[in-house]
């Protein structure tokens, strides 16, 4: 058994104590994936894209096929790291008048129907506008298990991370390829739930030249955080998921999923057909993660 499966057993013991709490649910889901001898797959959906009912159906399908964590991006007009595909989804949803409260209500409806962990990807501007502690409390009450706030540098993250901790939410830090060793350790130590290792410099989006040979900091991050490390940005195929999961505990896939949703909408697919399309793709990705176990 490799060291990650051993870590999974420890997480399972921790999760068993308080499995109904948000942060523990993240830990429990990583442990469950490890018990199936596969790495974690973390799909990303844009909240409200193309509509609330479809997003709820896609989250349920993701849970059915074995997603460990579902990331739900809360639309924002000035996101700093999202590429064209996700920006388009944000634009379309914001035109419909979608709000943070709509996301909270969506999660409250779907939470009792799924076992996967749910993590919000949200700009600090939206968190600050509502009130940092109020946002975290409401996120936890509706059913989120963690938050990713990509536009807060670690030196300024104590307020957000502290508020998340008081709400028993996981706080997921992001580490870039250019991050120095000292800052990597600082970000990892401030993270709970898991650490988000960005695979490439630049914005989100599908890549054909995805490589993991330069990711020699995964063990360092895992040791500093005492939590799993997942790789995202640029991962768009089952083969790339497998490559990422050779070195990391999981793979995050966003733009490739959102692009398929947009293509299905443009093609006039029904909701059922769209969900089947996304579900089939997620099954392929999870197969890629299983091949690395």
Q: Which residues are catalytic?
A: 71, 82
As beta bridge partners, residue 72 has: 45, 120
Long-range contacts of 98-103 (CB under 8 A, 24+ apart): 98/47, 98/48, 100/74, 100/126, 100/130, 100/135, 102/47, 102/48, 102/52, 103/47, 103/48, 103/72, 103/74
- Cα separation of 261 and 94, whole Å? 17
SS3 of residue 252 by DSSP? strand
CA distances from 240 to 6, 86, 210, 233 (A): 24, 20, 7, 11
Nearest CA to 252 out of 125, 121, 140, 161 is that of 121
- The strand ranges marked E within the chain are 40-46, 69-73, 117-121, 146-148, 170-172, 174-175, 195-198, 229-232, 250-253
Q: How many CB atoms lie within 10 A of CB 27?
A: 28
Dihedral through CA 54, CA 57, CA 58, CA 62, nearest 10? 180
Label residue 129 exposed, middle or buried (CB < 10 Å: 0-12, 13-18, 19+): exposed
């Amino acid at each position: 058994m490799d060291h990650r499966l051993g870590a999974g057993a420890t997480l399972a013991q921790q999760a068993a104590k308080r499995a109904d709490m948000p942060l523990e649910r993240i830990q429990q889901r990583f442990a469950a994936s490890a018990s199936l001898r596969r790495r974690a797959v973390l799909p990303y959906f844009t909240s409200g894209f193309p509509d609330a009912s479809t997003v709820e159906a896609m989250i349920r399908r993701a849970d059915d096929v074995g997603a460990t964590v579902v990331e739900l991006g809360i639309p924002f007009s000035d996101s700093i790291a999202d590429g064209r595909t996700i920006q388009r989804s944000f634009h379309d949803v914001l035109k419909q008048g979608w709000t943070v409260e709509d996301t909270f209500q969506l999660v409250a409806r779907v939470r009792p129907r799924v076992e996967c962990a749910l993590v919000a990807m949200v700009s600090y501007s939206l968190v600050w506008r509502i009130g940092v502690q109020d946002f975290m409390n409401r996120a936890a009450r509706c059913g989120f298990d963690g938050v990713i706030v990509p536009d807060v540098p670690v030196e300024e993250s104590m307020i957000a991370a502290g508020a998340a901790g008081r709400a028993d939410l996981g706080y997921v830090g992001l580490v870039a390829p250019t991050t120095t060793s000292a800052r990597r350790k600082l970000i990892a130590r401030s993270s709970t739930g898991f650490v988000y290792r960005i695979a490439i410099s630049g914005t989100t989006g599908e890549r054909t030249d995805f490589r993991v040979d330069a990711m020699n900091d995964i063990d360092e991050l895992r040791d500093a955080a005492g939590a799993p490390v997942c790789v995202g940005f640029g991962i768009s195929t089952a083969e790339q998921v497998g490559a990422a999961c050779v070195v990391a505990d999981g793979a995050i896939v966003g733009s490739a999923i959102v692009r398929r949703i947009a293509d299905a909408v443009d093609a006039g697919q029904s909701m059922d057909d769209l969900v089947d399309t996304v579900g089939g793709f997620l099954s392929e990705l999870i197969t890629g993660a299983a091949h690395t176990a």
